[in-house]
Amino acid sequence: MNITVVALGKIGLPLAVQFATRGHHVIGADVNPAVVETVNAGIEPFPGEEHLGEYLAAVVAGRSVNGAPAGRLEATTDTTEAVRRSEAVVVVVPLFVDAESRPDFGWLDEATRAIAAGLQPGTLVSYETTLPVGTTRERFLPMLEQGSGLTAGTDFQLVFSPERVFTGRVFADLRKYPKLIGGIDADSAKRGQAFYEQVLTFDERPDLVAAGSRPNGVWDLGSAEAAELAKLAETTYRDVNIGLANQFARFAATHGIDIHQVIEASNSQPFSHIHRPGIAVGGHCIPVYPRLYLWGDPEATVVRAAREANAAMPDYTVGLLEGVHGDLRGQRVLVLGASYRGGVKETAFSGVFATVAALRELGAEALVDDPMFRDEELTALGLTPYPKGAPVDAAILHTDHAGYRGLTSTDLPGVRTVIDGRGVLDGANWPGVTLRVLGRG
């Protein structure tokens, strides 16, 4: 097949590469000329995605991947022309949410209009961007019809198929988890199912069958709306679960209880799956998708309460530091980690920003360290880089980068107080320092 993938970000580019490794000709369309140039050179534009560099170089050059014949990948800024040459179009353009939790469809609308202008009869269009329920049918279907002069379900097929992967392990997750789809009609669903069966490879999952579910592969959920809700449900569940864990952690700390030990004990029973508490919930998914759900279901009080509980954790953690350390005015406080989670170079909705803001509001000098960012990159984010080896009064561990786990008091000269917001530091490494772990009394 000829396939266009629209948007070559941290999900779109690995997807495009995956399709090419299955022998297809893939055109990656992106509005950023620098990304297009880098991809066409066979160079990954962002670090941290396992196998992306080697697979990308191979499919751009037309070489085999792991001994198997591969297709070709090219990139362009001309989405309309790419779509005109394709039998299938996969859309992975990001959807943002504003301060009032309203979705901003600007980039997606622009991409959809560009797709419509090149849409040909017989083409399959699949939206993988997480969307509010009803968006595929009620917003993008009319835009595609109007811009192309074609009729959905008759002249072209339209499905929603949410991405379900974790950055850093996209290729593994594409094999591991069932691919969910939902069409605007039965013909679209059938076409979508056949497409993903051609471009993906699935690991055997006897555990799914043993649990009474279908085998691993492509699952048709019956409608685009059901597939949209499935993605919102699985991510909103995680936010609600973390919110519950965070409330448990705050309560436990006031009663001298170690919530980490309690959660481990609770989860030894098969019906308990309590997540880990932490200083912040960041990334493109968990802080955002519950708000997309709330946009469609504003009466979902449980979802709203969890989102508020998680959003309050940076302020709570800084308050914990103040309570232990004392007045923070004029104190140099180091925040360890800018990334929203360990091992990735990404600050989308990272709690570092709220943590730094809370420290500054209390009169502290907030410094930030992150091994994945250069000083100038931190500065561009509005953060003050930490000069290695400089003395500090206190520190807050925000990101669970692997390199932080072995930190000791000698790594932070002068430090008197440390708040571990992720529960990963070894207390034996901090003699003479007051170390408090979030959720541990």
The pLDDT value recorded for residue 316 is 98
The pLDDT value recorded for residue 72 is 95
The pLDDT value recorded for residue 69 is 84
User: CA 59 to CA 186: how far, in whole Å?
Assistant: 34
Counting Cβ atoms within 10 Å, is residue 87 exposed (0-12), middle (13-18) or buried (19+)?
middle
The pLDDT value recorded for residue 47 is 82
The pLDDT value recorded for residue 92 is 98
User: CA 232 to CA 214: how far, in whole Å?
Assistant: 21
Tokens describing residue 111? 């991409």
CB 148 within 8 A of CB 117: yes
Could you state, in chain order, the average pLDDT of each consecutive group of 10 residues for the chain (441 residues)?
Answer: 97 97 97 97 92 96 88 96 98 86 93 98 98 98 98 98 93 97 98 98 94 94 98 97 98 96 97 96 92 94 96 98 97 98 91 98 98 97 96 98 95 97 95 96 82
User: CA 68 to CA 82: how far, in whole Å?
Assistant: 26
CB 279 within 8 A of CB 438: yes
| Strand 103-104 to 179-183 pairing | unpaired
Q: Which amino acid is at 351?
A: G
The pLDDT value recorded for residue 102 is 87
User: CA 109 to CA 139: how far, in whole Å?
Assistant: 9
**pTM greater than 0.95:** no
Tokens describing residue 351? 């709690």
Angle at 189 between CA 183 and CA 190, to 5 degrees: 170
User: CA 28 to CA 105: how far, in whole Å?
Assistant: 21
In the sheet with 218-220, reading across from the earlier edge strand, the strands are 72-76, 25-29, 2-6, 88-91, 124-127, 157-160, 179-183, 218-220
According to the 3-state scheme, what is the secondary structure of the chain?
CEEEEECCCCCHHHHHHHHHHCCCEEEEECCCHHHHHHHHCCCCCCCCCCCHHHHHHHHHHCCCECCECCCEEEEECCHHHHHHCCCEEEECCCCEECCCCCEECHHHHHHHHHHHHHCCCCCEEEECCCCCCCHHHHHHHHHHHHHHCCCECCCEEEEECCCCCCCCCHHHHHHHCCEEEEECCHHHHHHHHHHHHHHCCCCCCHHHHHCCCCCCCEEECCCHHHHHHHHHHHHHHHHHHHHHHHHHHHHHHHCCCEHHHHHHHHCCCCCCCCCCCCCCCCCCCCCCHHHHHHHHCCCCHHHHHHHHHHHCHHHHHHHHHHHHHCCCCCCEEEEECCCCCCCCCCCCCCCHHHHHHHHHHCCCEEEEECCCCCHHHHHHCCCCECCCCCCCCEEEECCCCHHHCCCCHHHCCCCCEEEECCCCCCHHHCCCCEEEECCEC
CB 61 within 8 A of CB 14: no
User: CA 71 to CA 17: how far, in whole Å?
Assistant: 9
CB 364 within 8 A of CB 358: no
